[in-house]
Amino acid sequence: MEGPKILFLDIDDTLLNSKKEILPEVRDAIGRAVAAGHKIVISTGRPVPGALVYIDQLGLTAEGCYAICYNGGLIWDSYAKKPIYSKPLSLEEVGYILEKAREAGLHAQTYDSEYVISAVDNEEIRYYSKKTHVPMKVDPDIPESLTELPVKVLMIDFEGPDRLRKFRDSISAWAEGRVSSFFSSDNYLEFVREGISKGASVRILADLLGIPMENTIAAGDSENDIPMIVEAAVGCAMANATPAVKAAADYITERDCDHAGIVEIIDRFLFN
């Protein structure tokens, strides 16, 4: 791989350790990579406000810095502070998922450019808002009251993935050709427009920046990271990744997110 390379990094349990911190050695390695002319792109299921916390910490705000949010539903220009690509859901699709989730007794939330929004004030949205640093809004009139088309709907179940899997199966006939869904953790089931994924955005951004696909690297740990791990020339699974992610990867780190596994990837694939 000659020339500048581009590394796509998931946030939770990849860039961040299990305490939701960026380790100093990870920060330093990212700084070295950027100084050497490589691109570091945060690639996350989080909305823009939830990604900006870490973009700002890492100083990834200069001209030519970008982030992938909503699992590929939006690409953010961190210098111009605006989206350069967005594929939202329709209000009809958002409304259907929210209503079916309510009927199933499951929490579902959506987003605008500033807030995570739920029809009810409950433990799930409060937990999510605190964890992701995204302000919350309770609005019983969604989706009709929304003034922006949402890019994503997220369902949360603290009991684990079983009920979420059953829910996904129950709407699979309706979802076909409309929306894509995947787990970003055992407790989070995400819905975006059909064909949207972190993997699709890897190619979109690489093409935009004129970086050949053979110079792309991606790193992650959960199901929603698999498309970008497969799409990138070098797909890396963290040592703490799920078995499915490891099976899809070209490389599995020796160190996990609590021991700066990202430094291992940067040294091996950006500087070797």
243 confidence band (pLDDT: 50, 70, 90): very high
Distance CA 109, CA 202 (A): 26
pTM: 0.92
- Percentage of the chain with pLDDT > 90? 99
Sign of the Cα torsion 241, 247, 249, 251 reads positive
- Identify whether the C-beta of residue 4 lies closer than 8 Å to the C-beta of residue 211: yes
Q: What is the pLDDT of residues 43-66, one digit of tens each?
A: 999 999 999 999 999 999 999 999
Longest dimension (CA), the chain: 54
Q: What is the pLDDT of residue 26?
A: 98
Distance CA 11, CA 198 (A): 12
Q: How far is CA 167 from the centre of its chain?
A: 21
Q: What is the pLDDT of residue 142?
A: 96
Residue 118 confidence (pLDDT) above 70: yes
Distance CA 15, CA 9 (A): 6
Q: What is the pLDDT of residues 134-150, one digit of tens each?
A: 999 999 999 999 999 99
Read off φ and ψ for residue 205, nearest 5 degrees.
-75, -40
Angle at 203 between CA 196 and CA 215, to 5 degrees: 145
- Identify whether the C-beta of residue 33 lies closer than 8 Å to the C-beta of residue 40: yes
Distance CA 31, CA 268 (A): 15
Domain 91-193 has CATH 3.30.1240.10: yes
Written as six digits, the tokens of 50 are: 């939830």
Q: What is the pLDDT of residue 3?
A: 83
**In angstroms, how far is the first alpha carbon of the chain from the final one?**
10
Domain locations in the chain as residue ranges: 6-86+196-270, 91-193
DSSP letters, 183-242, are EEETTEEEEEETT--HHHHHHHHHHHHT--GGGEEEEE-SGGGHHHHHHSSEEEE-TTS-
Residue 71 confidence (pLDDT) above 80: yes
Q: What is the pLDDT of residues 87-115, one digit of tens each?
A: 999 999 999 999 999 999 999 999 999 99
Q: Which CATH superfamily is domain 6-86+196-270 in?
A: HAD superfamily/HAD-like (3.40.50.1000)
Does residue 127 or residue 1 have the better pLDDT?
127
Angle at 252 between CA 251 and CA 254, to 5 degrees: 130
In the block, tokens 């210098």 appear at: 79
Residue 1 confidence (pLDDT) above 80: no
In the block, tokens 């993935």 appear at: 161
Element (H, E) at 7: strand 6-9
Residue 268 confidence (pLDDT) above 80: yes
Catalytic amino acids?
Answer: 10
Q: What is the pLDDT of residue 33?
A: 97
**For the chain, what is the radius of gyration of the CA atoms?**
18
Q: What is the pLDDT of residue 272?
A: 78
